[in-house]
């Protein structure tokens, strides 16, 4: 048996030993690469990895004729020296809202006009340009010199790819001309069709895995730890936006992009400016027609309000600007067959149906499964038997049309009923959890009073699927983001019983972690060898003889992991909240909650207070009506009117002059509350059941909303959830909260509670709210002793008198602008 010991000096290796060791090294390095690149969960240290590669090269140098066709030394792009550093973007890198139809585009323009209070005829210039299908990059120049380059990452923090960006010919190291001192240029890195085809041909000849499309190839090439590899890949760049800038060289989008061109960047020649929707859409079609001949992938057209002053006023909602939208090209379609319907159980216990399809290529990508959302979607009807929009009656064996639009996940577009096989029966959705066998139930939606479309396993965290998925979510990138603790490793820890709940992660000790890593490495190796042998057997060859399997010492890797866990004992509150996996609380609402509560304790107390202040059913019914959402002007007006005039005989809220309800709002009120005195009575009951401030503060936050508010309350209502959170705190986890300090924004209204009332003439209500909040103020809907300032436009009524009564400072709109040191418009 050859001696596989790595202790043998290369010079002393026999030919036989060398051959065996090269084979083993090829397998180990490939496995390590897989863990690092595909799973993002390396199990050996960078130093150990480098040592494997060095040894491989040394042996190959001594025995050049033994170099294997699959040698790691010929494989480019898999030589991690160190993980990428992180760069926090000075201004977040945003994403874009999508439009899929001409109507969506018209809606976008209407929203912009409404927000800005622009009449239908007032000119509004909007640019249109191709949406490049690559990956976005932010380039920071200081004193005209490129100092850093970062990928988008999660929008706030990206990866430092500076050295790689420097290898792109399209990216100037120095800006030409008179550029601002500090200037972040943003744009898209992409690969042309010709370069992509050549790269893949080269890879095929070398026996390497092929890239699925130019976008993946561009991303894979930019995110290389070795800049030499990036240099060898033909990447290109278009500049189309900017981040932080010490000064702006222009005042419109169009001129800014022209300036980017003068500074030395490639800019897209198909960008144009228009003043009418019809022209925008015509340009969209022109770009769509040119699509095949552009030589690079685009997936739509981006429209942007041209005037930068207006962009500033429009601001952002969540992670997308209000002043821009992406008009996506229509999706690509293909027909295939549903071979089976599987049910997965997610971290919230949701039974998620997945159609297994006969694999089919849609727009260049092989699709073999597609989500079917929920049981109503599959049945095409809701729990009460009513047909639902978008629902399909999908059966096993059905021919279905699949659609894939850009990076949007594939969907079933249609069922080809003529092709339905005889005997196909409606899919029987399970009413028990396929994992743990517990009952799976549909919850009653608190707001609509109807059964939810989602069926959930009722076992909570005692269901293994939920426990496992919950832990994966807990360590995921947007949550605790623990280096080296990826999906597979946390799954293994769960399956081995090392970790049951999140707090256990912080109690792991070296021995068991090391043993698990060793055991997994060995299992992976055996699996690989079995696959190799099976392949050899299939081609009639004999299985290879292998020496003793040496296991590595995983102490260092285990130590690194524990250090990474220790490092995450302090996290930002929003990550902590997101990590808990509370249904309906995503990254955006978790961030919003972090603006309301300073730490975990405050959040738990806040949820308890909100639970007490929770509205009654009648109030929920009112705020569920279209046009009367929590925090809306119509709702506020209606409440004020009923409170003021409710006693007056024959009072009809729908006809109340000050209220100016539109027809759908009047109809909605009548349908829900009846007419005449019945309506007034119903509304008074609803108002009596109105939510208290502790509830309203979160439910009226547009990034949270009533559904997430109810869910938060429900989560902390459960003792086992409170215990799991307490266990984390007991394990030494603590939070920081940079978001909470909004009240410390240095502004004359920071920390103040402001109420806007009356009809505002110099700004829209949304704009006023956005402006005040950006300056660190809280905006409330009604005047109380807690109000610091009332801004009143013409026609202000009861709130103004209430302010006078309570002695609260009142400003008119001009006074407001003067106070915050700005000029209107």
CB atoms within 10 A of CB 125: 16
Q: How far is the CB of 187 from ligand IVH (least distance, A)?
A: 8
Tell which positions 96-115 bind ligand IVH, by CB under 6 A.
96
Q: How far is the CB of 188 from ligand IVH (least distance, A)?
A: 5
CB nearer to ligand IVH: pick between 241 and 557: 241
CA distance 119 to 110: 10
Size of the site for ligand IVH (CB under 6 A): 15
CB nearer to ligand IVH: pick between 214 and 653: 214
Q: Are 591 and 739 in contact (CB under 8 A)?
A: yes
Tell me the window of 130-138, 160-168, 454-462, 719-727 that interacts with ligand IVH (CB under 6 A).
130-138
CB nearer to ligand IVH: pick between 92 and 397: 92
Tell me the window of 129-137, 616-624, 658-666, 673-681 that interacts with ligand IVH (CB under 6 A).
129-137
Tell me the window of 89-97, 198-206, 436-444, 589-597 that interacts with ligand IVH (CB under 6 A).
89-97
Q: Which of 239, 326, 625, 749 binds ligand IVH (CB under 6 A)?
A: 326
Q: How far is the CB of 249 from ligand IVH (least distance, A)?
A: 18
CB nearer to ligand IVH: pick between 302 and 638: 302
Q: Are 764 and 116 in contact (CB under 8 A)?
A: yes
Q: Is 424 left (phi over 0), alpha (psi -120 to 50) or beta?
A: beta
Q: Are 572 and 738 in contact (CB under 8 A)?
A: yes
Q: How far is the CB of 323 from ligand IVH (least distance, A)?
A: 8
CB nearer to ligand IVH: pick between 321 and 346: 321
CB atoms within 10 A of CB 705: 19
Strand pairing category for 86-88 and 157-159: antiparallel
Quick one: which of 344, 343, 339 has its CA closest to 356? 339
SS3 label, residue 576? helix
Quick one: which of 435, 420, 478 has its CA closest to 347? 435
Q: How far is the CB of 289 from ligand IVH (least distance, A)?
A: 18
Check residue 321 for interaction with ligand IVH (CB under 6 A).
yes
CA distance 634 to 640: 10
Per the document, the length of the chain is 825
SS3 label, residue 522? helix
Catalytic residue (one of 131, 304, 472, 591): 131
SS3 label, residue 196? helix
Check residue 131 for interaction with ligand IVH (CB under 6 A).
yes
Tell me the window of 18-26, 56-64, 176-184, 321-329 that interacts with ligand IVH (CB under 6 A).
321-329
Tell which positions 134-173 bind ligand IVH, by CB under 6 A.
136, 152
Q: Which of 29, 41, 94, 585 binds ligand IVH (CB under 6 A)?
A: 94
Q: Which of 73, 95, 458, 588 binds ligand IVH (CB under 6 A)?
A: 95
Q: How far is the CB of 527 from ligand IVH (least distance, A)?
A: 38
Q: How far is the CB of 298 from ligand IVH (least distance, A)?
A: 8
CB nearer to ligand IVH: pick between 131 and 621: 131
Residue with tokens 């021995």: 511
Contacts of 595 (CB under 8 A, 6+ apart): 739, 740, 742
Alpha helices per DSSP H over 702-795: 705-717, 719-730, 765-774
Q: Which of 41, 52, 124, 241 binds ligand IVH (CB under 6 A)?
A: 241
158 forms beta bridges with 87
CA distance 476 to 51: 29
Strand pairing category for 135-142 and 182-190: antiparallel
Quick one: which of 350, 354, 360, 351 has its CA closest to 340? 354
CA distance 297 to 187: 15
CB nearer to ligand IVH: pick between 271 and 808: 271
Rounded to 10 degrees, the C-alpha dihedral 799/802/808/809 comes to 40
CA distance 381 to 384: 8
Q: How far is the CB of 136 from ligand IVH (least distance, A)?
A: 3
Select the residue whose beta carbon is closest to ligand IVH and give its number: 136
CB nearer to ligand IVH: pick between 189 and 771: 189
Q: How far is the CB of 190 from ligand IVH (least distance, A)?
A: 9
Residue with tokens 């969540």: 318
Q: How far is the CB of 111 from ligand IVH (least distance, A)?
A: 16
Strand pairing category for 753-757 and 778-780: parallel
Strand pairing category for 98-99 and 324-328: parallel
Contacts of 301 (CB under 8 A, 6+ apart): 128, 129, 130, 131, 283, 284, 287, 288, 326, 327
305: which DSSP letter? E
Strand pairing category for 570-572 and 734-736: parallel
Tell me the window of 93-101, 489-497, 509-517, 538-546 that interacts with ligand IVH (CB under 6 A).
93-101
Q: Which of 240, 554, 578, 817 binds ligand IVH (CB under 6 A)?
A: 240
Residue with tokens 């743990």: 436
Annotated active-site residue 645? The verdict is: no
Tell me the window of 54-62, 81-89, 128-136, 733-741 that interacts with ligand IVH (CB under 6 A).
128-136
CB nearer to ligand IVH: pick between 27 and 187: 187
Tell me the window of 92-100, 222-230, 467-475, 574-582 that interacts with ligand IVH (CB under 6 A).
92-100
Tell which positions 685-704 bind ligand IVH, by CB under 6 A.
none
DSSP 252-269: BHHHHHHHHHHTT----T
Q: Which of 20, 105, 116, 132 binds ligand IVH (CB under 6 A)?
A: 132
Check residue 630 for interaction with ligand IVH (CB under 6 A).
no
CA distance 25 to 67: 12
DSSP 144-172: TEEEEEEE-TTSSEEEB-HHHHTT-TTS-
Cα radius of gyration (the chain): 30
CB nearer to ligand IVH: pick between 122 and 292: 292
Q: How far is the CB of 78 from ligand IVH (least distance, A)?
A: 26
Residue 309, burial from CB neighbour count under 10 angstroms (0-12, 13-18, 19+): exposed
Tell which positions 170-199 bind ligand IVH, by CB under 6 A.
188
570 forms beta bridges with 734
SS3 label, residue 672? helix
CB nearer to ligand IVH: pick between 131 and 350: 131
Q: How far is the CB of 591 from ligand IVH (least distance, A)?
A: 18
Check residue 287 for interaction with ligand IVH (CB under 6 A).
no
Q: Which of 99, 105, 168, 302 binds ligand IVH (CB under 6 A)?
A: 302
Check residue 459 for interaction with ligand IVH (CB under 6 A).
no
Q: How far is the CB of 283 from ligand IVH (least distance, A)?
A: 13
36: which DSSP letter? I
Instruction: List, by residue number, the catalytic residues.
Output: 131
What is the contact surface with ligand IVH in residues (CB under 6 A)? 94-96, 129, 131-132, 136, 152, 188, 240-241, 302, 321, 324, 326
């Amino acid at each position: 048996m050859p001696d596989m010991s790595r202790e043998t000096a290369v010079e002393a290796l026999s030919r036989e030993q060398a051959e065996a060791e090269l084979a083993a090294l090829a397998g180990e390095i490939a496995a390590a690469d897989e863990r690092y690149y595909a799973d993002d969960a390396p199990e050996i240290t960078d130093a150990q990895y480098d040592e494997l590669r060095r040894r491989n090269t040394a042996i190959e140098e001594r025995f050049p004729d033994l170099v294997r066709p699959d040698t790691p030394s010929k494989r480019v792009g898999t030589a991690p020296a160190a993980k990428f550093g992180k760069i926090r973007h000075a201004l977040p890198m945003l994403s874009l809202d999508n439009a899929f139809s001409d109507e969506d585009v018209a809606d976008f323009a209407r929203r912009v006009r409404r927000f800005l209070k622009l009449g239908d005829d007032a000119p509004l210039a909007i640019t249109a340009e191709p949406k490049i299908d690559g990956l976005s990059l932010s380039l920071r120049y200081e004193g005209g010199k490129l100092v850093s380059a970062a990928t988008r990452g999660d929008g706030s923090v990206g990866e430092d790819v500076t050295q790689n960006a420097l290898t792109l010919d399209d990216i100037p190291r120095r800006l030409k001309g008179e550029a601002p001192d500090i200037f972040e240029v943003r744009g898209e890195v992409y690969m042309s069709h010709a370069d992509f085809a050549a790269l893949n041909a080269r890879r095929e000849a070398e026996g390497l895995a092929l890239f699925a499309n130019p976008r993946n190839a561009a991303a894979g090439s930019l995110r290389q730890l070795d800049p030499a590899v990036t240099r060898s890949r033909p990447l290109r760049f278009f500049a189309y936006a900017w981040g932080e800038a010490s000064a702006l060289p222009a005042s419109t989008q169009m001129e800014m992009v022209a300036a980017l061109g003068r500074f030395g960047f490639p800019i897209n020649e198909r960008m144009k400016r228009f003043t009418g929707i019809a022209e925008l859409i015509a340009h969209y079609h022109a770009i769509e027609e040119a699509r095949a001949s552009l030589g690079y992938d685009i997936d739509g057209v981006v429209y942007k309000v041209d005037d930068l002053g207006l962009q500033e006023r429009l601001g952002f909602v969540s992670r997308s600007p209000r002043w821009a939208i992406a008009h996506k090209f229509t999706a690509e379609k293909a027909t295939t067959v549903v071979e089976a319907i599987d049910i997965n159980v997610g971290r919230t216990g949701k039974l998620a149906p997945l159609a297994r399809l006969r694999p089919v290529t849609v727009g260049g990508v092989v699709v073999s499964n597609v989500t079917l959302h929920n049981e109503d979607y599959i049945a095409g009807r809701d729990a009460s038997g009513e047909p639902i929009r978008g629902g399909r009656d999908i059966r096993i064996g059905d021919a279905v049309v699949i659609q894939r639009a850009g990076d949007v996940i594939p969907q079933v577009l249609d069922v080809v009923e003529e092709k339905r096989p005889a005997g196909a029966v409606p899919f029987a959705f399970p009413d028990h959890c396929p994992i743990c066998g517990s009952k799976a139930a549909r919850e009653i939606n608190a707001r609509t009073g109807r059964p939810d479309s989602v069926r959930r396993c009722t076992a909570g965290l005692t269901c293994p699927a939920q426990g496992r998925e919950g832990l994966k979510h807990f360590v995921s990138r947007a949550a605790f983001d623990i280096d080296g603790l990826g999906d597979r490793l946390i799954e293994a820890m769960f399956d081995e019983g090392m970790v049951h709940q999140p707090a256990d992660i912080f109690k792991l000790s070296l021995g068991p972690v090391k043993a698990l890593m060793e055991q997994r490495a060995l299992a992976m190796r055996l699996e690989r060898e079995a696959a190799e042998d099976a392949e050899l057997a299939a081609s009639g060859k004999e299985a290879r003889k292998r020496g003793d399997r040496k296991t590595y010492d995983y102490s260092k890797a285990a130590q690194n992991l524990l250090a990474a866990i220790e490092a995450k004992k302090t996290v930002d509150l929003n990550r902590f909240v997101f990590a808990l996996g509370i249904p309906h609380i995503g990254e955006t609402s978790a961030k919003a909650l972090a603006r309301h509560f300073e730490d975990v304790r405050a959040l738990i107390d806040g949820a308890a207070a909100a639970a007490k202040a929770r509205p009654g059913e009648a109030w929920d019914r009112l705020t569920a009506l279209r046009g009367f959402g929590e925090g809306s002007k119509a709702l506020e007006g209606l409440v004020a009117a009923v409170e003021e005039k409710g006693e007056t005989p024959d009072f009809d809220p729908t006809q109340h002059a000050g209220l100016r309800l539109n027809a759908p709002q009047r109809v909605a009120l009548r349908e829900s509350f009846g007419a005449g005195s019945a309506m007034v009575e119903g509304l008074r009951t609803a108002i009596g059941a109105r939510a208290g401030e502790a509830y309203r503060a979160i439910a009226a936050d547009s990034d949270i909303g009533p559904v997430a508010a109810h869910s938060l309350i429900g989560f902390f209502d459960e003792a086992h959830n409170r215990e799991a959170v307490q266990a984390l705190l007991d394990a030494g986890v603590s939070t920081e909260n940079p978001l909470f300090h909004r009240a410390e924004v240095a502004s004359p209204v920071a920390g103040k509670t402001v109420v806007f009332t009356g009809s505002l003439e110099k700004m829209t209500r949304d704009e006023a709210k956005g402006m005040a909040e950006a300056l660190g103020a809280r905006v409330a809907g009604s005047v109380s002793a807690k109000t610091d300032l009332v801004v009143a436009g013409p026609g202000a009524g009861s709130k103004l008198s209430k302010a006078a009564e309570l002695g609260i400072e009142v400003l008119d709109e001009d006074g407001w602008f003067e106070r915050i040191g700005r000029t209107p418009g």
